[in-house]
Each structure stands twice: as C-alpha cells, then as structure tokens.
C-alpha cells in the first residue's frame, strides 16, 4: 500500500504543477493575506504581553481623586484612612505626568522613596546602572527608558535637561537605564523620586497624582477595594481594570483587527469561489476519469487533501514568516501608527513582536481549513457521482 | 462471460426532458471474443458500453461478470473491479492535456500499489507498435487527433486488462493506424482478452465475433 500512497502523493504534487495558474493565485493571495494578518496579530500579541508586564509592575490598587468626573491631584491625607482599611499592607504616594524633550513627549513618574525597597515587577529590571534608593530623594537622580537613552544619547552618569510646564529647565542625572524586558512600558519613562517629581510638576504641598495601595499577600485586591467604596471622591483602579484598558487600547484599536480579519476572510472566500468556478469543470472531468481508472473515492480525497494542505500550509507559513519579519525587523510600516496611535512613541521604537500558538493556529484555521473544504468537498461530490456522468457534465 | 439482463437507462427521470437512452437490453458476451455494438449516432451504444463497464449506473437491470451481479456491489467494489479488470478507450479520447503522452499512459497505474516507472518499457513498446514512439514526451495537446487516439489505446492496454471497452476506437485515426488497431484487437483476443466496442467502422465490424445492432435504445 505504501507505493500506492506514494503514487497519490506524486499525483498531488503533479496537480500543483499542472494547475499552475490556480496554484499561483492561491499562493499570492494567501501570502498577502497572511502577511498582513500575522504582522498585526504577532504585534498585538507582543503589545498584550507588554501590557501584562506593565500591570505586573503596577500596584494592587491605584487610588485617584475625582472631581467633576476627572482625575485631579489627591491629598496625602487620604493615606491614613486607606491604611486603616483591613487588608491594606502599604500605601505609597506617586506623582506622574508628561514632559517634553524637543517635539517628543515622555512619561515622568515620581515614586515614594519609602517604597523604593519594595521591588516587584519589571520596573526594576535594568540594563545598566542602578535603581533609585531613598537617598536619591531630592537629588535629581533618574532612571530612564532605553528609548529615551538612545534618542538623547545619554548613558549612566550623564545629565539631561527636562522642560517643565512653566518652561523651567530642570537638570537630572541618569543613574540607570531600563532593560528591554518591558520595552513599551519603560521605553518612554523617566523615573525619579517623589519630591523631584513634585517639584518638577509644581504640585501643591501635600498633594500627589495618585496613591498606590499594596494589599497583604493573603488578601484579594477586589475585596479590599470594596471596603474603600465609601470614601468620597475617589476612584479605585485594580490590575484587572488596568489590563482591560491596556488590552482595549492595544488589541482592538479602531476596529483594525476586525477589518483585517474581514479582509482575510473575504480573500479566502474569493479564492474558494474561483476554485469552485474556474477549476471546477476541469477538476470534475479529471475526477471522473480517475474514477474510471479505478481510483477510489478515498484515493481522490487523499489527492485533493494533500494538494490543498501542501499549498495552504506552505503559503500560510511563508506569509507568517514574512509578516513576522515585516513587524519585527521593519517595524510594520503603515501598521505601526494604527497599532500605537495612542502612545507617544517615536519611530525609533521597535515593536514588541510575539508569535503565540493561538495566533498561529488561528491563521491556519482561517486559511488552510477553508481551502481544504473548498477543494475536498467538490472532489468528494464528483467522486460519488457515476464517472461517466461526471465527465459528461464537465464536458457540457 | 458478461451477461446483461434487461438493462435500462433513463436520464432525467420524471422531468420534462426525460430520455430513455437504453431500454430493456439483454445480451451475452463470451470470453475471449470481440463484440461490436453498432447503430446510428444517439442510439445508446455509448450508454450501454458505459453501463457494462460500470461507469454509469443503470436505471434497472443486471450486469453479471462470470455469474456475479456486480450492480449489487458497493461503489468501492465496482471501482476496484474496474481497476483490476477493465481498460477503456473513450470516443472523446479523454487524455489530460497538461500531461505528456507517457504520463497519460501511466496515469491509471497511480491507483495501484505499483511503481508506474516499471511499466514504462511496456508503454514504449506499444508506442513503437502504434508509430508514436517519438511523441512519448510531448504534451498531448501537441499531438494530432489520431496520435491522441493511439496514446489512449496504449493507456487502456498498459495493465493488460481482461476486458477492454472501446468507444469508436478508430474514429480519429487514418487507415493505416486503423489496420494496426484491428490487428492488435485480434492479437488481444488470441491472448484471452474480451473486447467490447461500439463502432461505425465496417472493417472493424468484420473483425468482431458478434455484432449487436442497436436502434433507439433497443436491440434491433
């Protein structure tokens, strides 16, 4: 039986060669479609991983002061009330905002020096230098993202100037550079001690932008948050909410993914349609002839299955490789702006690209499976028809 | 022996364009013989030949090979029987245009647990006999109608089947090739093969051991 299967396999490859035009049309369409969709999906996967890393480094709960529905500076007087809530382990002050260097905008974060020994998450993952210590409070020492370091050509030990909102020049001293591990989170970030950030943003005395709450290890953050709902004028953000926000921003922005998936499905449907119409007659005749010679229905299905699977998997796999290279090495021109439109990231920023099994499986599922169905089902229908009738109908 | 009992084929049954192609035909074909089905165009020769060769299901009737009614078997059984026992020469030749002559000839062997290449020598010997040896590696679309018919002839014989069904086998070939084909049919009969053919060719009819005349789907 092995020789027979080898014969059928050879025949399948012959079909790919013989139906050159159909092979080329499917190959090119699949390549374009899978290149586009894989570039988007792999980038989306990368961005979502970044979001997860970012959330890992954020506090269990973030408390903001809300006035007229908008976030405003919060008084540090809230700390005593929050600290008394059952399950709260620690409350830290934080001030953050945006700063400009040239025409670019970056995130400035001021951390509570009393919490700087509280290392958790990737925020302390450094490529060079050191992280801030309580002794850095008020010294102007900063840790910067790798992107900023690259753009400003600064390294550990260098000074940098930041312009505040009142256009005062503020000099800072770089003591550390973040690693790539959480690239999108730390890329545009400048971390300093709280008093330096408060000075920089000219925050009123006793005010910060938000409070970071860490709960005791055996406590569920949501349950602790529920006990704070009676506090007036505060908004409580937990990690799940932040993650959902990040995912919404990265993942489904502007319906781009839906649009691209639709384009892909339409392309596949068109191919399926052309398969059925253009090759249909020729294929019908061929199946009738093969049945006459003694090819069984299963033999014919095997031939068509191999033919479609080889073509579909080859085209989709190649498309995925090109899509990956397009995103990871060429930074997905034309896509990057759509994907990262919300962020203040210059073009020097390299997209985080991740190839997840789910995305690979999804791409194969929407490309190879329809192709298999649209080739195998008509072949099967012809194979169960009298060979003479199949050939007559094809000739008609 | 092939025995056909009350064979009927009605196309588009129950529809406005219902056509009775073959009506209640019964006949017997002895082994190692040449049987010709003759009659005017559209009389049902090809339909009868197709039913006897199990590539068209009759509306009613029986077809027995050596006493076994093959119509009661599954599609797989009939396919298997065709593969092992039949060779076909079609009126419309039916070669795959993008294949070469030799590839077309070896095509039926892909359904066997065999190495098609091992049959090449036999194929070339037949091509030589039929005068198209030098056309073996040409695409069939580059061959004349007569050359294509000869290639189809070789394809039918490549596995040396027990039964050969030929639908107008000499319709596209010149006189000289026709004579070669008559001789080959006689040689095949001598070799123990049974040949059932439909034809208008009086010379070919002369070669037949038995002739059935068909008129409007029935034996005349």
Q: How confident is the model at residue A73 (pLDDT cuts 50, 70, 90)?
A: very high
pLDDT at A271 over 80: no
DSSP A99-152: EEETTEEEEEEEE-GGGTT---SGGG-EEEE----GGGTTTTEEEE-HHHHHHH
Mean pLDDT of A29-38: 85
Coil, helix or strand for A330?
Answer: coil
Tell me the nearest-neighbour CA distance from B186 into chain A, angstroms: 23
Give strand pairing partners of A210: A94
Q: Is residue B51 part of a domain?
A: no
pLDDT at A116 over 70: no
Q: Residue A300: what are its φ and ψ, rounded to 5°? A: -70, -40
Q: Is residue B129 part of a domain?
A: yes
Question: In the prediction, which pLDDT does A153 show?
Answer: 87
Tell me the nearest-neighbour CA distance from B80 into chain A, angstroms: 6
Q: How confident is the model at residue A278 (pLDDT cuts 50, 70, 90)?
A: low
Question: In the prediction, which pLDDT does B27 show?
Answer: 94
> Residue A4 and residue B112: Cβ atoms within 8 Å?
yes
Q: Is residue B90 part of a domain?
A: yes
Q: Residue A82: what are its φ and ψ, rounded to 5°? A: -65, -40
Residue of B81, B97, B110, B154 to mutate, interface with A, max A Cβ within 10 Å: B110
CA end-to-end distance (rounded Å), chain B: 22
- Percentage of chain A with pLDDT > 90? 24
| Span A120-155, pLDDT tens digits | 544 567 888 888 888 888 899 999 988 888 888 889
Task: Report the range out of A78-82, A176-180, B12-16, B46-50 with the highest average pLDDT.
Answer: B46-50
- Percentage of chain A with pLDDT > 70? 87
pLDDT at B169 over 70: yes
Q: How confident is the model at residue A254 (pLDDT cuts 50, 70, 90)?
A: very low
| Span A220-230, pLDDT tens digits | 888 888 888 88
Tell me the nearest-neighbour CA distance from B213 into chain A, angstroms: 22
Query: Could you tell me the CATH number of the domain that includes residue B180?
Result: 3.40.50.300
Quickly count: other Cβ atoms within 10 Å of residue A68's Cβ. 5
Count up the domains in chain B and report the number.
1
Residues A106, A97: Cα–Cα separation, whole Å: 8
Q: Is residue B12 part of a domain?
A: no
Residues B9, B116: Cα–Cα separation, whole Å: 36
- Pairing label, strands B68-69, B60-65: antiparallel
Mean pLDDT of A177-193: 79
Residues A150, A131: Cα–Cα separation, whole Å: 18
pTM higher than 0.90? no
Among A4, A292, A395, whose Cβ lies nearest the Cβ of B55? A292
Tell me the residue range of the domain where B161 lies.
Answer: 32-45+81-219
Of A53-67, A112-126, A353-367, B124-138, the poorest mean pLDDT is in A112-126
- Percentage of chain B with pLDDT > 70? 100
Mean pLDDT of A178-197: 81
Q: How confident is the model at residue A47 (pLDDT cuts 50, 70, 90)?
A: confident
Question: In the prediction, which pLDDT does A280 show?
Answer: 66
Question: In the prediction, which pLDDT does B172 show?
Answer: 80
* Contacts with A230 (C-beta within 8 Å, 6 or more apart), sequence order: none
Question: In the prediction, which pLDDT does A123 show?
Answer: 59
b/e per residue, B120-156, with b = 16+ CB within 10 A? bebbeebbebbebeebbeebbeebeebbbbbbbbbbb
Query: Which chain B residues have any C-beta within 8 angstroms of a chain A C-beta?
Result: 50, 55-57, 75-76, 79-80, 82-84, 86, 88, 92, 94, 96, 98-99, 103, 107-116
Tell me the nearest-neighbour CA distance from A347 into chain B, angstroms: 51
| Span A304-354, pLDDT tens digits | 999 989 999 999 999 999 999 998 888 877 776 666 654 455 556 677 788
CB A128 within 8 A of CB A143: no
Q: Is residue B71 part of a domain?
A: no
Question: In the prediction, which pLDDT does A182 show?
Answer: 55
Mean pLDDT of A275-304: 84
Q: How confident is the model at residue B175 (pLDDT cuts 50, 70, 90)?
A: confident
Residue A394, chain B, CB below 8 Å: the answer is: no
Q: How confident is the model at residue B25 (pLDDT cuts 50, 70, 90)?
A: very high
Task: Report the range out of A43-52, A179-188, A360-369 with the highest average pLDDT.
Answer: A360-369
Q: Is residue B6 part of a domain?
A: no
Residue A21, chain B, CB below 8 Å: the answer is: no
Mean pLDDT of B183-202: 93
Residues A144, A99: Cα–Cα separation, whole Å: 13
Question: In the prediction, which pLDDT does A26 show?
Answer: 83
Kindly report the average pLDDT of chain A as a whole number: 83
Question: In the prediction, which pLDDT does B19 show?
Answer: 92
Of A293-307, A337-351, B90-104, B106-120, the poorest mean pLDDT is in A337-351
> Residue B79 and residue A294: Cβ atoms within 8 Å?
yes
- Pairing label, strands B210-215, B34-38: parallel
Q: How confident is the model at residue B212 (pLDDT cuts 50, 70, 90)?
A: very high
pLDDT at A191 over 80: yes
Size of interface A-B (CB pairs under 8 A): 75
Q: Is residue B169 part of a domain?
A: yes
Q: Is residue B157 part of a domain?
A: yes
């Amino acid at each position: 039986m092995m020789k027979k299967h080898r014969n059928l396999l050879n025949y399948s490859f012959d079909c790919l060669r013989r139906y050159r035009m159909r092979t080329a049309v499917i190959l090119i369409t699949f390549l374009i479609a899978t290149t586009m969709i894989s570039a988007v999906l792999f980038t989306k996967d990368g961005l979502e991983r970044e979001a997860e890393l970012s959330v890992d480094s954020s506090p269990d709960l973030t408390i903001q002061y809300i006035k007229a529905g908008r976030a405003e500076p919060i008084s540090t007087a809230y700390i005593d009330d929050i600290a008394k809530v059952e399950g709260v382990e620690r409350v830290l002050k934080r001030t953050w905002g945006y700063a400009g260097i040239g025409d670019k905008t970056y995130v400035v974060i001021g951390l509570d020096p009393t919490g700087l020994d509280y290392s958790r998450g990737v925020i302390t993952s450094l490529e060079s230098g050191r992280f801030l210590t309580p002794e850095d409070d008020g010294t102007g020492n900063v840790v910067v993202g790798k992107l900023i370091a690259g753009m400003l050509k600064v390294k550990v030990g260098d000074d940098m100037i930041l312009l505040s909102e009142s256009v005062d020049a503020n000099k800072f001293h770089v003591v550390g550079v973040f690693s790539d591990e959480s690239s999108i989170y730390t890329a545009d970030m400048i971390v300093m001690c709280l008093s330096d950030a408060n000075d920089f943003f000219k925050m009123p005395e006793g005010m910060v932008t938000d409070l970071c709450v860490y709960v005791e290890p055996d406590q569920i953050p949501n349950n602790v948050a529920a006990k704070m709902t009676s506090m007036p004028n505060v908004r409580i953000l937990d990690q799940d909410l932040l993650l959902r926000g990040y995912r919404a921003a990265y993942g489904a922005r502007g319906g781009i993914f839906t649009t691209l998936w639709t384009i892909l499905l339409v392309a596949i449907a068109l191919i399926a349609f052309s398969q059925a119409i253009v090759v249909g007659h020729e294929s019908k005749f061929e199946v009738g002839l093969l049945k006459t010679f003694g090819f069984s229905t299963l033999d014919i299905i095997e031939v068509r299955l191999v033919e479609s699977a080889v073509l579909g998997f080859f085209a989709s796999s190649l498309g995925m490789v090109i899509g990956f290279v397009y995103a990871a090495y060429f930074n997905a021109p034309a896509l990057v702006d759509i994907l990262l439109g919300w962020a203040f990231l210059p073009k020097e920023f390299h997209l985080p690209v991740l190839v997840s099994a789910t995305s690979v499986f999804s791409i194969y599922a929407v490309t190879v499976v329809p192709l298999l169905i649209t080739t195998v089902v008509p072949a099967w229908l012809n194979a169960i028809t009298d060979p003479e009738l199949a050939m007559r109908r094809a000739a008609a | 022996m092939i025995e056909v009992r009350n064979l009927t084929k009605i196309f588009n049954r129950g529809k406005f364009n219902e056509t009775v192609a073959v009506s209640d035909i019964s006949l017997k074909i002895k082994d190692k013989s040449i049987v010709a089905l003759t009659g005017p165009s559209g009389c049902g020769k090809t339909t009868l030949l197709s039913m006897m060769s199990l590539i068209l299901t009759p509306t009613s009737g029986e077809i027995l090979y050596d006493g076994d009614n093959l119509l009661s078997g599954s599609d797989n059984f009939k396919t298997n029987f065709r593969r092992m026992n039949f060779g076909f020469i079609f009126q419309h030749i039916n070669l795959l245009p993008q294949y070469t002559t030799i590839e077309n000839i070896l095509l039926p062997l892909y359904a066997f647990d065999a190495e098609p290449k091992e049959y090449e020598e036999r194929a070339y010997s037949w091509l030589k006999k039929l005068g198209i040896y030098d056309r073996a590696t040409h695409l069939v679309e580059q061959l004349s109608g007569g050359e294509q018919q000869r290639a189809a002839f070789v394809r039918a014989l490549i596995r040396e089947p027990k039964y050969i069904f030929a639908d107008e086998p000499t319709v596209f070939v010149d006189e000289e090739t026709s004579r070669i084909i008559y001789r080959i049919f006689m040689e095949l009969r001598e070799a123990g093969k049974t040949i059932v053919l439909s034809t208008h060719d009086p010379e070919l009819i002369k070669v037949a051991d038995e002739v059935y005349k068909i008129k409007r789907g029935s034996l005349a």
